[in-house]
Every structure is written in C-alpha cells, then in structure tokens.
Amino acid sequence: MNDKRPYRVLIFDDDDSIRKLLWGYFDGRKYEVFTFPDPKSCNLCDIQSCDCPTQEACADIIISDLNMPFMKGLDFLELQIKKGCKCRHLALMSGDLTVADADRAKPLGIKLFKKPFRIREIDEWVKKVEGEIPAGRQLTDWYFNDRR
C-alpha cells in the first residue's frame, strides 16, 4: 500500500485556457491541483505570515502568470517568500517578461517560463522538482481553513 500523499500544485493565471491546460497536465500526473484566476482569489494571499506548521507546506509547486488582475504574479510570489512560505518550487510564466522582472525573480530561485511555452518545458522542470521533494514531506490542509 502506498501511503505517500500526492504532490500538490497551485496554479495562478487569469487565462482560463492556461489554467485548464496546466490543470490537465498536473491532474494527469496525479497531482492535487488548485487553480485560481488571480492571487486575491486564494486565501493564502490574505494571511499576514505563513502559518503552516513547521514541517508542512501549502504546496509542492506554485506556478503563476506574471500579469493578472489585482496583483502581479511576481509580487505574489515575493510576498509568499517574505511571509515565510515553505513551498520551495516556484515558477512564473509570462509572454512579456521584462529584464527587470527576470532580475527580481532569478535570485529568489523562481523558475521562468516564456509564453507561449511548450508543455515539454514544464514537464522537464516538474520531473526535476519531483526528484527534489522529500518522500516524507507533509502538506497542510490550508484550503479547508477560512483565514480571511
């Protein structure tokens, strides 16, 4: 019997077709998938600091579009890092990534994908990331809690 919890990904993109494409990809890999049209639609955006228990994280991967309503994806990822988010695999997608955006993202370890991307690019990165996720890691059930 396999006691391992499935991987979890959070996807932020205001383009419904991109959310569906990525949902399908990750669902096909048996991930627990949460999608949001913008960061403000996720209750993680509203908390003041990461309150995941010490040994737990909200997700294994967070992937976000750069330009969305209410908040840029890069601002959201930076905010999560500043709050102490324990998710270590962050990615940013954009069709109009500027040098300044890339210069902000790279030192934070945020993977960059230029739109339109090929699903093969995502797949290569995801396979690498999966190899870095500890087998015994735990995920918090943040989505069941109303933290607003």
**Its pTM surpasses 0.85:** yes
Q: What would the two tokens of residue 142 be?
A: 């943040």
pLDDT digits (tens, 9 = 90+) for 72-131: 999 999 999 998 888 899 999 999 999 999 999 999 999 999 999 999 999 999 999 999
Whole-angstrom distance, CA of residue 112 vs CA of residue 131: 19
CB of 63 closer than 8 Å to CB of 9: yes
pLDDT digits (tens, 9 = 90+) for 37-84: 999 887 776 666 666 666 778 899 999 999 998 899 999 999 999 988
Peptide bond into 116 cis (omega under 30): yes
